[in-house]
Amino acid sequence: MANIQIRKYQDEDAEVVKELFTLGMSEHVPSSFTHVLKQPLTQMFLMVTFCALITSSKSFLLPVLAVTLVLAAVRQMVVYMFNKYIEATLRKDLNNIGGIYLQKKNSCFWVAESDGRVVGTVACLPAETAPGFLELKRMSVRRSHRGMGIAKALCRTVADFTRERGFPAVILYTSVVQADAQKLYEHMGYTKIREFVLPEFTAKILNFTLFEYRLDFN
């Protein structure tokens, strides 16, 4: 891992950090779209639509066009969901990194810098859902700098920070569509301790599962 420095966030990093987060989340749109298409409810709806139209219209073109439009609508729905999440995170979290991560006890936000350019981020703060633990958040590495060990170094930074402050473990949450992230965390010693579906109606319909991972220091 050459020319990589991990340091605390500074105010001048604000825009590039928000850019990294937005790009990183947008990369999950294709895998999320594929996940939606694999769901039995989606496949049943597409099949029923196709069969009903081909029976009523006695034409192959109309049902194909209809299914194509449905698929386009589904993809737009996925894009919309990610955009709403990105907007909410920017508004509630990344627009106030100093107040949320740097001015509170047992919290911090780091960036990974390569040749003067911010190429990765990670943060941690006390976990709301698991009192007594810290939570790893905002892990992101620019695509052009992946495979260089930056994500592992950022994970170790959070682990060291957590251990030094006497916490017994660090937890994190990732989703069913983030397969590479799951492999990374498991490689770094995290254990999957539970999985659950978000309470929102759309998430339940699409079986959008989240995984909770924990790294113990015992």
Give the per-residue pLDDT at 202. Answer: 66
Give the per-residue pLDDT at 2. Answer: 56
Give the per-residue pLDDT at 111. Answer: 97
Give the per-residue pLDDT at 60. Answer: 83
Q: Which residues of the chain have pLDDT under 50?
A: none
β-pairing verdict for 134-141 and 117-126:
antiparallel
End-to-end Cα, the chain, rounded Å? 29
Q: Report the CATH number of the 1-217 domain.
A: 3.40.630.30
Give the per-residue pLDDT at 213. Answer: 97
Instruction: Give the span between the Cα atoms of 72 and 79, in whole angstroms.
Output: 11
Q: What is the CA radius of gyration of the chain?
A: 21
Phi/psi at 165 (nearest 5 deg)?
-95, 10
Domain ranges of the chain: 1-217
Q: Are 149 and 185 in contact (CB under 8 A)?
A: no
Give the per-residue pLDDT at 61. Answer: 87
Give the per-residue pLDDT at 136. Answer: 98
Other beta carbons within 10 angstroms of residue 197's beta carbon come to: 14
3-state SS of the chain: helix, strand, coil percent to 5? 55, 25, 20
Instruction: Give the span between the Cα atoms of 87 and 95, in whole angstroms.
Output: 10
